[in-house]
A and B are shown apart, each in its own frame.
Chain A
Amino acid sequence: MRVIHHATPTHAANGVFLIVHANPNPARRRWLLRALQGMIGATVIAILYPVARFLRPRKATVSGALELVAPLKPKDLLNGSAKPFDFAGKPCLLVLLPEGAKRLAQGERLQTDDVRAFNAVCTHVDCTVKYRPSEGDIFCNCHDGVYDLDGRNVSGPPPRPLEKYKVTLRGEPGQEEIVVSRQA
């Protein structure tokens, strides 16, 4: 068995794999191996860390969704101060009807129609509408457009009614979740 021993660096015949033999100092070799293992460990961690973070659950998705639990509770809707939130990229206005407000005050369970959800983009020139509990209507401040609580355009320039979303309420009375959903 021919074994090639070389004390000095050499090239294997014709080969691309350079066989170089540096003096194998055992201590150096051990140190080298340890360092190598350490660095490999570091790279493994560098790979596993993002993977681990990736696997963690994320916040509920907002855009493009067909259905969403509103970030507002019924009690946030009293006196019409609730701002529209993002639903499928468009502002969604939640309206708590007077009957609903009464039921809420008395601690009764809300009925489905007590909360209504609309696409808050005015059909005139795309301003954001707001709910006016004092007038019992939905109002667009830009050009005095008025919608009724069914979203129908009743006065002013808006040419079409507001897009209406479906609302489902679930949960304990007073703590209901408002689930807003739309057609695709």
Chain B
Amino acid sequence: MTTAYRRLIATCQYFLGVLAILVTRVTFGQTVDLPADYSCSLCHRKQGELWNENTPLTDESNMAGDIHWQKGLRCHDCHGGAPTLDKFKNHRDDPEFRSVRLRTSIPGFCGHCHSSIETMRRFAPSARTDQEAEYWTSGHGRRLRASSRDDESRVDKAVATCVDCHGGHGILAVNNVKAPVYPTNVAQTCARCHANQTIMANRTFNDQPLGHDQFDQWRRGVHGRALLEKGDLSAATCNDCHGNHGAMPPGVDSVANACGTCHGKIANLFAETRMKHKFQEARLPGCATCHGTHETIQPSDELLGMEGTSICARCHNPQNPQYGATVAGEAAARAMRDRLEQLKDQIAQSEALVRAAERLGMEIRGPRFDLRQATDALTNARTLVHSFKPGPLEATLGEGLKVTDQVQAAARAAMREHTSRRVWLAASLVPILMVVALLLIYIRTLTPPSAVEPGEPGSAGH
């Protein structure tokens, strides 16, 4: 065929394509608006004229919500190449075209823009541009590289790349509540693979199997519940401790730092203890040793001390001490727990006394207000436990105990006042009953009335 004839065919096909688009828009509704001279959809849409089974289809279902699309970027801005055909051309012959047929090329594909400071400055000036670099240091990146190093066809298809978390053609902004990487959705997104037994089978880290129960554990723990049930967006989810693009489990020495990002005061207290060094020596994971890794349970006073379910007893076991745990530590644990319980008891007693006084109707609001200071002291003390020395704890608890003593004294005084009312009552009954007695005697001395007065009616009137 001659070139002119081919051109004619192409033009006709083009117009037919446009018509097809218009028709399909009317019949099938939502399709994205490509510029009039775009030719991608001629091949890459099912309704496209030049589509065949070997042509990959674009998923345009979320394209309208895609953040890139909304910023005005189109097919060729990500995929490269020419958006309009003046003749039939194979992508592979186009040096400008950026292919993503290989999984290992996906990070670079996205990084083409997202690692470029000039590009990102045009669209989101404060956005970071190191995601790709971070990715290659992450567990995912390393695994991707390692599995495809020798033979691209043996690449690990289950390892996460950019599109596995962010999506392909319907990428939502991070602050969009429907985005897979919105704080409330992050754990779910990670769990797609990390809670899947098949995918996680035979995967190890530092010779430990990775397992697949982290999501369940996190969901049961304090952070999971705070985020999912209470909607507290500041609660820790996967990326807060593991990092975003450079996701790796924190090393055992870094666990305390990860926790300390939010739990600053406690991490500072812990950092100055001997326990921290012992933990490091024994390769114990810092905070997670007592509070759990993914299932961070709601801490309670029962964790402290040497009885029952307490954690201290696990190492400071007199029969079987672990990791060089000392007898002094055992004594300290016991002492701290005992003092905490003492203050709790005193607060409970004070509350009971205050309630009793209130029920008796006595004015007790002042002491009730003061009792707050004791509960403040208790909260403070629970934080100070992490200094693992009875000393600082003593001071705080002592203040609390002073307050409870005062409150109890005030409550008892109020109840004594209540009793005194009864005493005064008894006193006031004396004159009253004396009046009654005297009246009765006086009545006896009255002149007896005439029983009846005939002629006069028995009662006054008519």
Complex A–B touching at CB under 8 A: yes
Binding site for B on A (CB under 8 A): 1-6, 12-13, 19-22, 24, 28-29, 32-33, 35-36, 39-40, 42-43, 46, 62-63, 86, 89, 91, 125-128, 141-144, 156-157, 159
Instruction: Specify which chain B residues have a CB less than 8 angstroms from the CB of A144 in the assembled complex.
Output: 264-265
Closest 9 CB pairs of A and B: A42-B431, A144-B265, A86-B369, A39-B435, A36-B438, A21-B448, A142-B379, A127-B376, A22-B444
Shortest Cβ gap from B330 to chain A (Å): 27
A-B CB contact pairs (8 Å), 11 listed: A2-B452, A6-B448, A19-B449, A21-B444, A28-B445, A36-B435, A36-B438, A36-B439, A43-B431, A125-B379, A142-B376
Instruction: Specify which chain B residues have a CB less than 8 angstroms from the CB of A12 in the assembled complex.
Output: 451
Contact, CB under 8 Å: B450 / A4: yes
Asked if B434 is an interface residue, CB under 8 A from chain A, the answer is: yes
Contact, CB under 8 Å: A43 / B232: no
Tell me the nearest residue of chain A to B268, going by C-beta. A144
Instruction: Specify which chain A residues have a CB less than 8 angstroms from the CB of B431 in the assembled complex.
Output: 39, 42-43, 46
Contact, CB under 8 Å: B380 / A127: yes
Query: With A46-B428, A142-B376 in contact, do A39 and B445 touch (Cβ < 8 Å)?
Result: no
A157 to B266 CA separation, bound complex (whole angstroms): 12
Contact, CB under 8 Å: A4 / B448: yes
A32 to B264 CA separation, bound complex (whole angstroms): 84
Shortest Cβ gap from A140 to chain B (Å): 9
A46 to B428 CA separation, bound complex (whole angstroms): 7
A36 to B439 CA separation, bound complex (whole angstroms): 7
Contact, CB under 8 Å: A128 / B448: no
Instruction: Specify which chain A residues have a CB less than 8 angstroms from the CB of B447 in the assembled complex.
Output: 21, 24
Binding site for A on B (CB under 8 A): 232, 234, 262-266, 365-366, 368-369, 372-373, 375-376, 379-380, 383, 428, 431-432, 434-435, 438-439, 441-442, 444-445, 447-454
A5 to B451 CA separation, bound complex (whole angstroms): 10
Tell me the nearest residue of chain A to B438, going by C-beta. A36
Shortest Cβ gap from B293 to chain A (Å): 21
Instruction: Specify which chain A residues have a CB less than 8 angstroms from the CB of B265 in the assembled complex.
Output: 143-144, 156
Query: With A62-B365, A156-B264 in contact, do A128 and B372 touch (Cβ < 8 Å)?
Result: yes
A144 to B263 CA separation, bound complex (whole angstroms): 9
Instruction: Specify which chain B residues have a CB less than 8 angstroms from the CB of A62 in the assembled complex.
Output: 365
Contact, CB under 8 Å: B442 / A32: yes
List 13 other contacts, CB 8 Å, given A1-B454, A21-B447: A4-B448, A19-B448, A29-B445, A32-B445, A33-B442, A42-B431, A43-B432, A89-B365, A127-B380, A142-B379, A143-B383, A156-B264, A159-B232
Tell me the nearest residue of chain A to B375, going by C-beta. A126
Shortest Cβ gap from A31 to chain B (Å): 10
Contact, CB under 8 Å: A4 / B451: yes
**Main SS of the interface on chain A?**
loop
Contact, CB under 8 Å: A40 / B435: yes
A20 to B447 CA separation, bound complex (whole angstroms): 9
Shortest Cβ gap from B53 to chain A (Å): 54
A173 to B234 CA separation, bound complex (whole angstroms): 45
Contact, CB under 8 Å: B445 / A22: yes
A159 to B454 CA separation, bound complex (whole angstroms): 94
A46 to B426 CA separation, bound complex (whole angstroms): 12
Contact, CB under 8 Å: A39 / B434: yes
A46 to B262 CA separation, bound complex (whole angstroms): 66
Instruction: Specify which chain A residues have a CB less than 8 angstroms from the CB of B375 in the assembled complex.
Output: 126
Instruction: Specify which chain A residues have a CB less than 8 angstroms from the CB of B432 in the assembled complex.
Output: 43, 46
Shortest Cβ gap from B265 to chain A (Å): 4
Instruction: Specify which chain A residues have a CB less than 8 angstroms from the CB of B442 in the assembled complex.
Output: 29, 32-33, 36
Instruction: Specify which chain A residues have a CB less than 8 angstroms from the CB of B454 in the assembled complex.
Output: 1-2
Query: With A40-B435, A89-B365 in contact, do A2 and B451 touch (Cβ < 8 Å)?
Result: yes
Shortest Cβ gap from B397 to chain A (Å): 14
